[in-house]
Amino acid sequence: MKQQKEVLIYGHGGSGNCGCEAIVRGTAATLKAAGDGLFIRLSSHSPQEDRQADIPTVDAVMDSGTRWSAFSPIRWVRSALWKAARSPSQRYLLCHLRTIHRARSAQVCLFVGGDNYCYEPVEIYYALNRVLRKQCRRLVLWGCSIDPERMNAAMLADLRGFDLITARESITYSALRERGVERVRLYPDPAFAMEEERLPLPPGWREGQMVGLNLSALVERYERTPGGALSASAELVRHILEHTECGVVLVPHVTGRPSDDRFPLGALYREFRTTGRVLMLPEGLHAPQLKGYISR
């Protein structure tokens, strides 16, 4: 009997982030189409979000290692180690105990790159990758974007340890090649491979005359001037309304967590809703449904 080959996808935060969900959906669909009989296992920080999203090409969803039964001895050992941990990297390893265990059975461990390397503390990934290289046959950094200015010696040492890196845009690809990282390929964001699902358009939608706008709550954390991103977005909406015939649709990208896009987008909607030309997409949409609106 032919043994089924397993791909373990890790570094996934959960489908409450529609970008993360789209990457997993596109990746799993692409792998299934390319490999006969592949078993796709998803290690997630928020497995309940992924089970709710119901991604058909993912065969199994598991918690990365943060949740344990009240009667599990691992829970008590992990709790003691967590208190004794002296660095974010050590605690990040404790959040991936199941990931590390499952890596032994996988032919490929695929780290969802996305923009993970763009935020602090990036060192947490180096520690996990070092452990997984000892467990897994092949380690791949998949669909990443990395600011060239952040590529210091420690990051490059980690990046050179991957068997393959796919960069999803040319800036990252060129920067890696210029710094001597050879096992890198330029490949489109796997999220683009996700199929769309078209729902009925909401009242007030202007066919062929809609501008989609997302304002990320995460961006607000990094802005130099508090309120600057919201102010600039409001000015943009105002310009569209005054100088074009277009409507504006506000598109939440991340929901159901502290960095919820509906907070800044809600402020925009309240400011302009009386115009009748600014819409907010409904809650509870999965990534294919969101893409269905974006495509129109």
pLDDT band at 76 (very low <50, low <70, confident <90, very high): low
pLDDT band at 2 (very low <50, low <70, confident <90, very high): low
pLDDT (average), residues 201-214: 95
| Least confident piece of the model among 52-61, 218-227, 279-288 | 218-227
- CATH number for region 6-193: 3.40.50.11720
Q: What is the mean pLDDT of the chain?
A: 92
Q: Return the closest-CA partner of residue 10 out of 86, 79, 66.
A: 66
- Read off the DSSP letter of residue 47: H
Using DSSP's 3-state secondary structure scheme, residue 13 falls into coil
Sign of CA dihedral 63, 110, 175, 154: positive
pLDDT band at 134 (very low <50, low <70, confident <90, very high): very high
pLDDT digits (tens, 9 = 90+) for 138-191: 999 999 999 999 999 999 999 999 999 999 999 999 999 999 999 999 999 999
Q: What is the pTM of this model?
A: 0.91
In the chain, list all ranges with CATH 3.40.50.11720: 6-193
> Which of left, alpha, beta for 169 (phi over 0: left; psi -120 to 50: alpha)?
beta
Using DSSP's 3-state secondary structure scheme, residue 121 falls into coil
